[in-house]
Amino acid sequence: MKNEDDELPAPAGDASDLIARSWQRCRDAGLDAAQALPVPATPPKTLADRLEANARLVAYAQPMLEGLYQHLARSSSMVLLADNAGMILRAVGDADFIARAARCHLQPGAVWSEAEMGTNAIGTALVERCTVAVVGREHFLDRNRFLTCISAPILAPGGGVLGVLDISGDARVAQVHGAALVEINAGIIENRLLETLPDAAVVLRLHATAEGLGSHLDGLLALADDGRCLAGNRRLPRLFGRPAGWSPAGAGFAELFATPWPALLEHACRRGEEPLAVRLRHGGELLARIGLRAGVRSFAVAAPPAAPARCPLDELGSEDPRMAEAIRRAKRIAECDIPLLIQGETGSGKEWFAQAFHKSGARRAAPFVAVNCAAIPATLIEAELFGHVEGAFTGARRSGARGKIREADGGTLFLDEIGDMPLALQAVLLRVLETRRVAPLGGHGEEPVDFALVCASHQPLRALVDHGQFRADLFFRLSGMTVSLPPLRERQDFDRVVRRILAEEAPGREPRVAPAALDLLRRHDWPGNLRQLRNVLRLAVALLGDERLLTPDFLPAELLDAGCRGHGESGLRAVQIRLVQETVERHGGNISAAARELGITRTTLYRKLAEGRGERGAAPDGGGAGGG
Ligand SMILES: Nc1ncnc2c1ncn2[C@@H]1O[C@H](COP(=O)(O)OP(=O)(O)OP(=O)(O)O)[C@@H](O)[C@H]1O
């Protein structure tokens, strides 16, 4: 039988010093080409941590992974993203090849550094900091020789390597143009990271010719609002006649350009993205397209509102560990344009969370536009989101409509219950997210839009993807960062939540909550979560009038019945007893008055009091507090 290895490409004799250097490093490190596959050592938590630490990288790389894979589809290959330690973070590819690759741990969570896996494109690109192809038997470890891998490093805006973009495939299938593909796409990811740097107020795209401006060959320069240079992309040094690896970070605008900074801003404000010829300090001229970042668009005219003293996300109740974790994660990306997905039961505060997220970011001065995908008939969502021109369809508004996406331009679009969005529309939304352009129904042209995206769902979106009800590519696009809000019944800061809502509902006269009432509230299941709690407390405050003590009498009767279900009969009995004791106390020991108020007989009331004292023979009557 023919050995599969015989069909593999042999290492090109002088294939490269680069491969030879890598093999030497492997030998020096004591790696053995025949070594067995170790048991995977990475616990899933580590992968989750790395995904979180690299949230911006993952968010901007994901569309590139999918786009690249479309080029390669059905060619026994996959596209991978690894972090700067070589850990694979994401993989998109043929199901068959993914399964084969998993046999040598080429999968998310595995570390493909040279030290772990010998010469391989990911690990070797990280060491050599350049695009690397490792073909078949060029791999140091025997078990990896069925692969051909091509990787390009992804450089951080401020310098250093952030990660690696890789195409891996069957060594018998030639990866034509693979190196160019990974390199171009790595450059595009770098550009997106630079364009969205949280501190950048202005991003210049520079090119020597008008025809070349706007392509992936542009030099990019990110600047703060005072003209200080923050970072440049890998094409910038050549445009400024500097050596590769030169960084503009820290330089003032006037150190690089002879054109004055205010003139540049004025041009941007008056002429938008129309190219401007800018003079360089050391001679020569480049064409510049000036991008003013959303949220700071009007900074040349008026300063953007200052960030609030306390982060709005912190106001949501960070005393609960799960809320604190959700807040901590969201705060990490609040200043960047990474899509946030909020999962949580109905009424658990997803929209409030989204609003606080918006107010915590650079777009806080721009609109927050919410769309509930479950509340709009499927036939109308498209017009609602994308807008329509006059008479685009029967029933269309005569004047047309801008559509929610264009209303959110510059700000944040919140898509609630995204899981309910029809599949056909998911494809349209994906296109808008990819192109950042929107075409109103019945119109001819597309318009550019710029918004941060926050989505929410009470259904686990991942499960919808697994059942084919939600597009996987859209899911990855939406979930740059996912946070889960705990249901109210599981919140450890329940008492504080009650007090906070009471303070909001009865400002200046916050009532005290009697222990029995708090007990009742704590025991309830709260299927409607914060919304339901607020409604219950709002009603209680209305009934209280001038009274200052919120007792169980002010709570809806069904709270007692429904809420205690599932807590067992003894729990129910304890609540009933506490309720009876409190009522008697409030009536100064007047049993008849208390029984009248509770709607039970005096005998039942005595029995409850006896039960409370732990006296024998006090049988429960089995009814609710109002029975007897
Ligand atoms: N952090 C909070 N503190 C106090 N009350 C809150 C908080 N968050 C939400 N609420 C209350 O709960 C109500 C519902 O909140 P929200 O609309 O954000 O929930 P949701 O999870 O988006 O609900 P749905 O799943 O039905 O869309 C709000 O109107 C508000 O009264």
Q: Is 348 in the pocket of ligand 1 (CB under 6 A)?
A: yes
CB 274 within 8 A of CB 288: no
Q: Is 347 in the pocket of ligand 1 (CB under 6 A)?
A: yes
- Ligand 1 closest atom vs CA 501: 4
Pick from 618, 624, 616: nearest CA to 606:
618
Evaluate: CB of 478 within 6 angstroms of ligand 1: no
pLDDT confidence of residue 294: 54
Give backbone dihedrals phi and psi of 396, rounded to 5 degrees, phi first: -65, 145
Residue type, 137: R
The single-letter DSSP state of residue 100 is: H
Range in 123-127, 255-259, 420-424, 586-590 with the lowest mean pLDDT: 586-590
- Residue with the smallest CA separation from ligand 1 atom 31 is 531
pLDDT at 453: 94
What local confidence, expressed as pLDDT, does residue 560 receive? Answer: 64
DSSP-derived secondary structure letter, 401: B
487 Cβ closer than 6 Å to some ligand 1 atom: no
Question: Which one is predicted more confidently, 581 or 614?
Answer: 581
Q: Answer whether 62's CB lies under 8 Å from 69's CB.
A: no
pLDDT at residue 491, as a whole number: 94
Residue indicated by tokens 């006059």 = 390
| CB of 344 shorter than 6 A to ligand 1 | yes
Mean pLDDT of 541-557: 84
Domain with CATH 3.40.50.300 in the chain: 317-486
Residue 299: pLDDT band (50, 70, 90) is very low
pLDDT at 35: 80
Q: How far is the CA of 530 from the centre of ligand 1 (A)?
A: 6
Atom of ligand 1 nearest to the CA of 346: 25
Residue with tokens 């023919």: 2
What pLDDT was estimated at residue 349? 94
Pocket test for ligand 1, best of 414, 530, 533 (most atoms within 8 A of CB): 530
CA distance 13 to 172: 18
Token pair, residue 322, equals 């799960």
Q: Look at residue 139 in the predicted model and tell me its pLDDT.
A: 92
Cβ of 116 below 6 Å from ligand 1 = no
User: What's the rounded Cα separation, in Å, for the pair 318 and 312?
Assistant: 11
151 by DSSP, 3-state: which?
Answer: strand
Nearest to 218 by CA among 281, 152, 287: 287
Q: Is the dihedral of CA 272, 205, 265, 195 positive or negative?
A: positive
Tokens of 476: 């990855």
Residue whose CB lies within 8 A of the most ligand 1 atoms, among 352, 353, 457, for a mutation test: 352
Name which of 353, 337, 355 is nearest 296 in CA terms: 337
| Edge-to-edge order in the sheet of strand 132-135 | 88-93, 77-83, 161-170, 147-155, 132-135
Is residue 261 over pLDDT 60? yes
Q: Tell which residue, 519, 506, 498, 505, has the closest CA to residue 575.
A: 519
Ligand 1, atom nearest to 315 Cα: 1
- Tens of pLDDT along 426-442? 988 888 888 888 888 77
pTM, to two decimals? 0.61
DSSP string computed for 44-96: HHHHHHHHHHTHHHHHHHHHHHHHHHHHHTTSSEEEEEEETT-BEEEEEE-HH
* pLDDT tens by residue, 199-214: 788 899 999 888 888 8
Evaluate if residue 597 carries a pLDDT over 70.
no
Q: Is the ipTM of this complex over 0.90?
A: yes
Q: What is the pLDDT of residues 361-401, one digit of tens each?
A: 888 888 999 998 887 777 778 888 888 776 655 555 555 57
Q: What is the CA angle 384-390-395, rounded to 5? A: 60
76 lines ligand 1 (CB under 6 A): no
Residue 272: predicted pLDDT: 74
- Cα(263)–Cα(350) distance, rounded to whole angstroms? 44
pLDDT (0 to 100) of residue 7: 40
Q: How confident is the model at residue 587 (pLDDT cuts 50, 70, 90)?
A: confident
- Residue in 327, 531, 538, 539 to alter for ligand 1 test, most ligand atoms within 8 A of Cβ: 531
What count of residues does the chain have?
A: 628
- Superfamily the domain 317-486 falls into: P-loop containing nucleotide triphosphate hydrolases (3.40.50.300)
**Cβ–Cβ under 8 Å, residues 483 and 323:** no
State in Å: Cα 353 to ligand 1 middle: 8
| pLDDT number for residue 282 | 83
Ligand 1 geometric centre to CA of 426 (Å): 26
pLDDT (0 to 100) of residue 400: 55
CA distances from 63 to 75, 99, 421 (A): 19, 22, 20
pLDDT grade for 44, boundaries at 50, 70 and 90: low
Q: Is the CB of 346 under 6 A from ligand 1?
A: yes
pLDDT at res. 132: 92
Which of the two residues, 310 and 240, has the higher pLDDT score?
Answer: 240
Q: Do residues 35 and 118 lie in contact, with contact meaning Cβ atoms separated by under 8 Å?
A: no
Residue 627 has a pLDDT of 32
Identify the burial level of 133 via C-beta atoms within 10 angstroms of its C-beta, where 0-12 means exposed, 13-18 middle and 19 or more buried.
buried
Alpha carbon of 357 to ligand 1 centroid (Å): 14
42 pLDDT above the threshold of 80: no
Is the per-residue pLDDT at 609 higher than 60?
yes
CA dihedral 140, 141, 145, 149 (to 10 degrees): -60
Atom of ligand 1 nearest to the CA of 456: 22
User: Phi, psi at residue 544, to the nearest 5°?
Assistant: -60, -35
User: Is the CB of 349 inside a 6 Å radius of any atom of ligand 1?
Assistant: yes
Q: pLDDT exceeding 90 applies to what percent of the chain?
A: 28
Shortest-distance Cα residue to atom 7 of ligand 1: 349
CA 478/CA 471 separation, integer angstroms: 11
Contact predicate 327/313, CB 8 Å: yes
Residue nearest to atom 3 of ligand 1 (CA): 316
Written as one letter, the residue type at 436 is R
N-terminal to C-terminal alpha carbon distance within the chain: 87
Q: What CA–CA distance (Å, rounded) separates 270 from 276?
A: 12
Q: What are the residue ranges of CATH 1.10.8.60 in the chain?
A: 491-612
What does the alpha-carbon distance between residue 261 and residue 251 come to, in Å, rounded to a whole number?
A: 13
DSSP states of 578-603 as a string?
HHHHHHHHHTTT-HHHHHHHHT--HH
Contact 223, 232 (CB under 8 A): no
Q: Is 313 in the pocket of ligand 1 (CB under 6 A)?
A: no
Q: Does any ligand 1 atom lie closer than 6 A to the CB of residue 531?
A: yes
Q: What is the pLDDT of residue 568?
A: 44
Ligand 1 centroid to Cα of residue 495, in Å, is: 17
Cα-Cα-Cα-Cα dihedral sign, residues 120, 124, 126, 130: negative
Helix (H) or strand (E) holding 370: strand 368-372
User: In the structure, what pLDDT confidence band is assigned to residue 311 with cuts at 50, 70 and 90?
Assistant: confident
Q: Cα(350) to centroid of ligand 1, in Å?
A: 6
Q: How far apart are CA 135 and CA 146, in angstroms?
A: 9
> 91 - beta bridge partners?
80
For residue 385, the surrounding DSSP H or E stretch is helix 378-386
Tell me the pLDDT tens digit for each residue of 459-504. 999 899 989 999 998 998 898 889 999 999 999 999 999 999 999 8
What topology does CATH give the domain 202-292?
Beta-Lactamase (3.30.450)
Tokens of 399: 């004047």
E-strand ranges in 471-568 read 481-484, 512-513, 549-550
Rounded to the nearest angstrom, the distance between the alpha carbon of 124 and the centre of ligand 1 is 50
Ligand 1 atom 12 nearest Cα: 531
pLDDT at residue 12, as a whole number: 41
Rounded to whole angstroms, how far apart are CA atoms 407 and 410?
9
pLDDT at 288 over 70: yes
Mean of per-residue pLDDT scores for the chain: 82
Can you identify the CATH homologous superfamily of domain 4-195?
GAF domain (3.30.450.40)
**Does 323 contact ligand 1 (Cβ within 6 A)?**
no
Q: Classify domain 491-612 by CATH number.
A: 1.10.8.60
CB of 534 sitting under 6 A from ligand 1: yes
The CA-atom distances, in angstroms, between 576 and each of 332, 588, 612, 622 are 46, 19, 9, 10
Q: What CA–CA distance (Å, rounded) separates 142 from 171? A: 13
Condensed to tens digits (0 to 9), the pLDDT of residues 320-329 reads: 999 999 999 9
**Residue 152 — pLDDT band, cuts 50, 70, 90?**
very high
- Element (H or E) spanning 132, and its range? strand 132-135
Start-end ranges of CATH 3.30.450.40 in the chain?
4-195
CA distances from 176 to 19, 173, 429, 565 (A): 20, 9, 32, 65
pLDDT for residue 567 is more than 60: no
Q: Which atom of ligand 1 is nearest to the CA of 530?
A: 12
Q: 259 C-alpha to center of ligand 1: Å?
A: 51
Q: Which two three-digit tokens encode residue 330?
A: 């969201």
- The stretch 559-586 carries a mean pLDDT of 61
